[in-house]
Amino acid sequence: MEILFEILQDMLFAAMAAIGFASISNTPFSAMKYCALLGAVGHSMRFVMMTYLGVHIIIAAAIAALAIGILAIPFAPKAKCPPETFSYPALLPMIPGMYAYRAVQGLVMCLSSSEESVFDHYFYLMNFNGLTCIIVVAGMVLGVTLPIFVFKHISFSATREIIND
């Protein structure tokens, strides 16, 4: 029961964050519910894979982004918006901020260290966290855009009405 509560809590906060990101990117109000749903599903998938299945953040984020991209395709005609409109705000709660923060922290510590062994340690931390952050973001971008390009007939025609003459 506690596991279910943690997953639902993760979904709630991810949905709130996705709505927040969607609101600052001028997303139509009718698409906000899809942003919330995709954000909740994607983030909770990543959370479950990392916490309970032991999957690394790179793989978990890429799979969750792929799920967001796949789910965005059928929602596009319903919302009458391109799938990017609500899939990208749904991705933003999954940005690995701690890895980026630790990479910058490692850089600052490198610049302020006077011993070679201390410098090497922080340089390693900067590289590890920075590369992890970059690869996670690249995997998320690839995961969310791949379905949009594979199903381009559906995704590109989401905002067009078909007129029969």
100 in a domain, yes or no? no
125 in a domain, yes or no? no
pLDDT in tens, 41-57: 999 999 999 999 999 99
Which pLDDT does position 165 carry in this prediction? 43
CB within 8 Å of 20: residues ≥ 6 apart: none
What's the domain range around 39? Answer: 2-95+139-156
Whole-number mean pLDDT of the chain?
Answer: 91
Q: Mean pLDDT across the stretch 131-146?
A: 96
Lowest mean pLDDT among 4-13, 28-37, 48-57, 74-83: 74-83
Please tell me the total count of domains within the chain: 1
Which pLDDT does position 162 carry in this prediction? 47
163 in a domain, yes or no? no
- Per-residue pLDDT band for 78 (boundaries 50, 70, 90) equals confident
DSSP states of 57-123 = HHHHHHHHHHHHHHHHHHHHHHHTS-THHHHHHHHGGGS-HHHHHHHHHHHHHHHH--SHHHHHHHH
Which amino acid, one-letter code, is at 113? S
Whether the predicted pLDDT of 89 surpasses 60: yes
Whether the predicted pLDDT of 157 surpasses 80: no
Which pLDDT does position 86 carry in this prediction? 87
Record the tokens describing residue 60, joined without a space.
């978990």
d(CA 119, CA 116) in angstroms, rounded, equals 5
51 in a domain, yes or no? yes
133 in a domain, yes or no? no
Whether the predicted pLDDT of 136 surpasses 60: yes
Whole-structure pTM value: 0.87
123 in a domain, yes or no? no
Whether the predicted pLDDT of 106 surpasses 50: yes
- Per-residue pLDDT band for 2 (boundaries 50, 70, 90) equals very high
113 in a domain, yes or no? no
Which pLDDT does position 163 carry in this prediction? 45
132 in a domain, yes or no? no
